[in-house]
Amino acid sequence: MSKAASGIATGRWIYSSAAVAPAGKCAARQFLARRDETELRLFALLYGYGLDVGLAAWTLDLDAALAHWRLRAALSDDGGAAGGPGPEALERGVAALLSQDGGPSDDARRIAAELPAEARGRLQAALDGTRVAAASERARPGLGVGSLVIVVLAIAGFLFYGVLRDLNPLRHGKTLMRLGDFVNARLAFEELGGLPEARAWSAIAWLAEGNYARALEALQAPGAASHLAMFRPMDEPLETIEVDPSSLVMLPRGLISTPFPILVYRAGAAGEIVLLGRPFEGAAENYRPLRLKVPDTSAGPDAVIALSWPADLGPLAAGDYTWTVPGSERHPATFTLLPDEQRHEIERRVADKLSDEVPYQAGTFLRAHYFLRNRLYMQAGQAFAYLARRFPDEAYPREMVAQVAAALGVDPSAFLR
């Protein structure tokens, strides 16, 4: 990278505190060795390159609120553990390890060098202070500033005239989308040529039809991907979650943002489902255990049982959970429910981008990839499973369910039941 941050501003600390002695390099290295690829990259960008959390998340194409939560949770869990140096000291030790002489250390540079090409482009843009989309589109020669002004004014005039006559192709295409006429909607969007929003809507029309070969091709077109931002398809390998292969527990696992999860497990003897939870920030007391009596399902027709969250229990509280099912008491599974403010931020971002104009099937696809980018694998799998049932002749949704299931360490039947 051509530039490096001159240092970390104290206002960018995840854990603010008065002067705290940093944890030793050994503790910082051990901490980083336990981080997954996404968290390692976030720490390198934040403390090595001096980006704030928002810019670091933008560079990695992540939700900023989730990125902040993951950093804070990692520091809290390791730093606040028994014998730990404390999150403030650990954070400052990591910062000292990843920066040197006002710039990134060799460790931070190595992590940055292994970023995908698009992320490296966004990092350079962030360091240059431009924060451009860093897309792969090629510049087209031949238009100067004056020509561009004329073209922009001409397009604006055309669109304004079209609105007056109700002939604006973008508006007309969206109207046809609401009517389910996806073929003519695409024709309307194509009238606008390379306009990023129009290209994105052409892809949305293919998604609404369930034609994933054409949709994925359209989503790769210059402009469409940049317009959809964090909702565009994720084509990077999923990070796997360590699980106990002997566990009969299937879902939820990993990170979730729904306080009313469906409990999915393998059929077995009668008994109790037990959920043990603890709040974040190292609170002294755990939550009271939640116990659900379930009947014997071993002789039933279904090998996989899906139990809706009981209404009388109310919503789950945010925190880390361990849960077991009858016959698998010594082989639990774990999941983490995001804090309320993070869940509400996710809902707001999705609602802001995926308006009611986006057909449900297309919105489900885009939400699924948004969940993937933010490691909400269970919810992504549920969305892809819906699409697999809605479009049974399409291979893509089933393939994505298989990828999500593998990352969570469960059989695809946990979703395709």
Write the pLDDT tens digit of every residue in 385-401. 999 999 999 999 999 99
Overall number of domains in the chain: 4
pLDDT in tens, 84-122: 788 888 888 898 899 887 789 988 999 999 888 888 888
Residue 31 located in a structural domain:
yes
What is the rounded average pLDDT of the residues 132-146? 42
Longest dimension (CA), the chain: 77
Q: Are 140 and 158 in contact (CB under 8 A)?
A: no
Residue 283 located in a structural domain:
yes
Task: Report pLDDT for 379.
Answer: 95
Q: Which of 289, 318, 340 is the last residue of a domain?
A: 340
Q: Are 6 and 50 in contact (CB under 8 A)?
A: yes
At residue 335 the predicted structure's pLDDT band, cuts being 50, 70 and 90, is very high
Q: Round to whole Å and give the CA distance between 367 and 354.
A: 8
- Evaluate if residue 282 carries a pLDDT over 70: no
Enter the tokens of residue 273.
Answer: 């489902």
Closest by CA to 24, choosing from 80, 90, 73, 84, is 90
Task: Report pLDDT for 294.
Answer: 95
What is the rounded average pLDDT of the residues 260-272? 95
282 & 327 share domain: yes
At residue 369 the predicted structure's pLDDT band, cuts being 50, 70 and 90, is very high
- Evaluate if residue 413 carries a pLDDT over 90: yes
What is the rounded average pLDDT of the residues 272-286? 84
Residue 242 located in a structural domain:
no
What are the CA-CA distances from residue 225 to residues 58, 157, 231, 233, 271 (Å)? Answer: 14, 27, 8, 8, 49
291 & 335 share domain: yes
382 & 332 share domain: no
What is the rounded average pLDDT of the residues 329-333? 93
- Evaluate if residue 150 carries a pLDDT over 60: no
Q: Which of 340, 374, 392 is the last residue of a domain?
A: 340
Task: Report pLDDT for 14.
Answer: 82
**Residue 161, exposed/middle/buried by CB under 10 A (0-12, 13-18, 19+)?**
exposed
At residue 316 the predicted structure's pLDDT band, cuts being 50, 70 and 90, is very high
224 & 121 share domain: no
Indicate which CATH number applies to the domain containing 292.
2.60.40
Enter the tokens of residue 293.
Answer: 């009596």
pLDDT top residue among 410 and 356:
410
What is the rounded average pLDDT of the residues 292-308? 93
- Evaluate if residue 145 carries a pLDDT over 90: no
**Residue 338, exposed/middle/buried by CB under 10 A (0-12, 13-18, 19+)?**
buried
174 & 282 share domain: no
Instruction: Identify any residues that bridge with 290 across adjacent strands, giving them in sequence order.
Output: 275
Indicate which CATH number applies to the domain containing 186.
1.25.40
110 & 68 share domain: yes
Q: Round to whole Å and give the CA distance between 44 and 66.
A: 17
Task: Report pLDDT for 155.
Answer: 52
181 & 208 share domain: yes
Task: Report pLDDT for 225.
Answer: 83
Least-confidence region, from 153-167, 200-214, 222-236, 348-362: 153-167
Q: Which of 69, 98, 128 is the last residue of a domain?
A: 128
102 & 40 share domain: yes
Residue 22 located in a structural domain:
yes
- Evaluate if residue 138 carries a pLDDT over 80: no
Domain limits at 83? Answer: 10-128
Residue 138 located in a structural domain:
no
* Length of the chain, in residues: 417
| Arithmetic mean of pLDDT over the chain | 84
Q: Round to whole Å and give the CA distance between 328 and 296.
A: 14
Residue 135 located in a structural domain:
no
pLDDT top residue among 315 and 9:
315
372 & 312 share domain: no
Residue 137 located in a structural domain:
no
Task: Report pLDDT for 284.
Answer: 64
Residue 315 located in a structural domain:
yes
207 & 257 share domain: no
268 & 208 share domain: no
Q: Round to whole Å and give the CA distance between 116 and 328.
A: 40
Least-confidence region, from 11-15, 51-55, 252-256: 11-15
Instruction: Identify any residues that bridge with 294 across adjacent strands, giving them in sequence order.
Output: 271
Residue type, 220: Q
**% of the chain with per-residue pLDDT over 70:** 85
Residue 108 Rama label (left phi>0; alpha psi -120 to 50; beta): alpha
Residue 77 Rama label (left phi>0; alpha psi -120 to 50; beta): alpha
Q: Are 98 and 107 in contact (CB under 8 A)?
A: yes
At residue 255 the predicted structure's pLDDT band, cuts being 50, 70 and 90, is very high
97 & 123 share domain: yes
**Residue 183, exposed/middle/buried by CB under 10 A (0-12, 13-18, 19+)?**
exposed
Least-confidence region, from 6-15, 22-31, 307-316: 6-15
pTM equals 0.73
At residue 17 the predicted structure's pLDDT band, cuts being 50, 70 and 90, is low
Q: Are 361 and 210 in contact (CB under 8 A)?
A: yes
